[in-house]
Amino acid sequence: MKLILFGPPGAGKGTQAKLLIEKLKLPHISTGDILRSEVKNNTGLGKQAKGFMDAGKLVPDALVTEMVRKRMQEPDLKNGFILDGYPRTEAQAKALDDILKGGIDKAIYLSTSERVVVQRLTGRRVCPKCGTNYHLTNMPPKKDMLCDKCQVGLFQRPDDNEATVKNRLSVYLKECSAVLDFYKKQGKLEDVSGDLDSGEVFKIISEKILAL
């Protein structure tokens, strides 16, 4: 199954992807995670991407698409994947169809209000080891700011500050309707409210949309 999770920053794409991979046993591909690791390792791609990411802007389509094209060639994806954070523009959606030949199976859209998004992003904390997302009040870890699984200290992403969050939201709003229309026309768009609590969102995705 080839699934896409789409929605504004903070909608809960990463959180739902982590829940879905346990159930579906499919690899999770997050373009944001791959880009952050390229930046951390100071690779050529990382150096090119960093400025855009720090400003809350999109990394140019050509760079991200090349990265996705390479990832899609790896053998672990033969039964499908859960893709989170890509495509973000119509050009990326077209490029993905081109890479995959038969296209994707479903694009799950987590429609989420701006108020919720800002609250979630400013309170988000991330495990540097396994990438699990926590939240200061919505989903705190069991022990003081340590990942439940890895027992290492959580950190705040540098782009989760208020100014960059606003920028990311406006970038998202500018591009999102074209991506939604693209999948709506293909009859592959599934709409879920991302404002609901994560258990409810997961239940709707797994029972209503995927019939698992």
Which residues participate in catalysis according to the annotation? 13, 88, 124, 157, 168
CB of 20 to ligand ADP, least distance (A): 12
3-state secondary structure of 3: strand
* Closest to Zn ion by CB, 95 or 126: 126
- Site size for Zn ion, by CB under 5 A? 6
Question: In the complex, which residues of this chain contact ligand ADP (CB under 6 A)?
Answer: 7, 9-15, 31-32, 35, 52-53, 56-59, 64, 85-86, 88, 92, 120, 123-124, 133-135, 138-139, 159, 168, 197-198, 201
Mind giving me the DSSP string for 160-181? -SHHHHHHHHHHHHHHHHHHHH
Tell me which of Zn ion, ligand ADP, none is bound by residue 140, counting a contact when its beta carbon lies within the kind-specific cut-off of 5 to 8 angstroms: none
Choices 25-33, 128-136, 187-195, 204-212 (CB under 5 A): range interacting with Zn ion: 128-136
Q: Which of 72, 150, 178, 210 binds Zn ion (CB under 5 A)?
A: 150
Q: Is 126 in the site for Zn ion (CB under 5 A)?
A: no
Instruction: Mark 170-209 as b/e (b = at least 16 C-beta within 10 Å).
Output: ebbeebbeebbebbeeeebbbebebbbebeebbebbbeee
Which residues make beta-bridge pairs with 81?
2
Q: Is 149 in the site for Zn ion (CB under 5 A)?
A: yes
* Alpha-carbon 206 to chain mean position: 18
Q: Is 147 in the site for Zn ion (CB under 5 A)?
A: yes
Q: Is 154 in the site for Zn ion (CB under 5 A)?
A: no
Alpha helical stretches, state H, the chain: 13-24, 31-40, 44-55, 61-72, 90-100, 114-123, 162-185, 198-203
Which residues of the shown chain bind Zn ion in the complex (CB under 5 A)? 127, 129-130, 147, 149-150
